[in-house]
Structure 1
Amino acid sequence: MSIVFLESKDNAKIKHLRGLIEQSSYRKKQGQTVLEGTHLGLAWVEQKRRINSIFTTEKYLEHPDICDILDEYDGSVFVIAESLYRDLSTLGTTLPFLAIVDLPSSSQALQFDLDTLILENVQDPGNVGTLLRSAAAAGIQQVVCTKGSASLWSPRVLRAGMGAHFSIKTFENIQLEDILERFEIPVYVTSSHRSTSLYDQDLKQPSVWVLGNEGQGVSEYALAHAKAVSIPQPGGQESLNVAIAGSVCFFEMVRQRI
């Protein structure tokens, strides 16, 4: 392991890092993304995955959490000024740690008999990351994002997912029409305008959950090719946040199976 001090924001390494943080098209072109925070870094190396490069500040170079990651790392550690780190960071208050990693290759095929979460045009990175985290905790094995959804491997979605990405199969830029009718198991969509209660469903067998856009909900196509269920809300709110609604569905499934 080597330690390299970088001072200029115009350094090629810094420009590359900034491009990966800020631009989805650049991440796709380079086949890389950025993990921010030692929680993600530790989760990544615990999966025996390779880190390409690490960025931190001199003050925290010997912090125990960073040292735990460095114990599993043999590349270069780039040390930058506190002010430059704050300029790059999307978190602001976390322990200074940025790691460039390769995007996982999607060599595995989507399976049509497994518990699956499909995100249809869900655009908020926080919602997408939270849904991945809840899905992984509930034992859902694969997550599909349609075109128009937030990029699964963006730094903000990774941050909200808190490592869920590393234990679940992910598929992006999928057309719903290409896959929905191929599933061999029940397919559910959530809709606050339907009277069929979530709690009346038998969820003991593998299931597919389709969750839609934060404002418009699921598409007409999804409604036509799935069973729409609602979550009872005796408090009278118009609708639930999509991440909350999805989590309620996943853990009702877990409750029934336990």
Structure 2
Amino acid sequence: MTRTVLITGCSSGIGRASAEAFLEEEWTVYATARNPADIQTLGDHDDCKIATLDVTDGDDIERVVDRILDEEGRIDALVNNAGYGQFGPIEDVPTDTVRDQFEVNVYGPHRLIREVLPAMRRREDGAIVNVSSAAGRVSFPGGGVYCGSKHALEAMSDALRNEVREYGITVSLIEPGPVETGFEDRVESEIDGLDRSGAYESFYDLVEDYDAIGGGGFGAVEPERVAEDVVDAASSTKPPARYPVGPLATVAEIGRLVPTRIADSLWSFASKLS
């Protein structure tokens, strides 16, 4: 029987590459995005259905999940990919903006998970794949809000994995480092919208070139490489809990083991070099 996957955030980057990778493996793919025009060409494939889905809209989520269950009778995998990065010093990021970040990166996946789990539990089968980041393992100056959202997704995934194990459902985290996508364009726009306090100009000087905070450049991987692990996590009967992708993700895995005192000293040294 053909397996079915629901993927969020398919307009570009990891989401689009994942949709194409699942199609190559002959899955039925429900590719979603806030703007259906962004994914129209994916719908040209016979096994790909497209749908409008805003992860902050519970009605959207319910409608799309109900449609898949009506048409396919099952959801074998959910890929929570939709997300964005809100960077900036903690003092300069308004609380409403922090809330917006968590709405998309944390509450969105939570809404989708709650919607698909009843059908997966009834079948005692399914896979939930949450696209996190190396930033979900190690936080850094100027990335507290984004890292916080990914840390939250990691914690929820770790709890969920053991809550649903008895129902035959797997939960995996994809943790890429820098990826060659348009992610940095939105990062720059979010930073430009901040009301700067004037206390952190050294940070803003660094991010004028987004490579300084990991957008592209050294260690960046193609979205197709990340998609390989997404498909593996959805297809394996016993997938790893975490898939670090790229050299900087591996560094982050090691970095989380560094004592806080030493990590703080390293950040202090790095700031002096800038």
Q: TM-score, normalised by structure 2?
A: 0.31
User: Which has more helix, going by share of residues?
Assistant: 2
Larger Rg: 1
User: Which has more strand, going by share of residues?
Assistant: 1
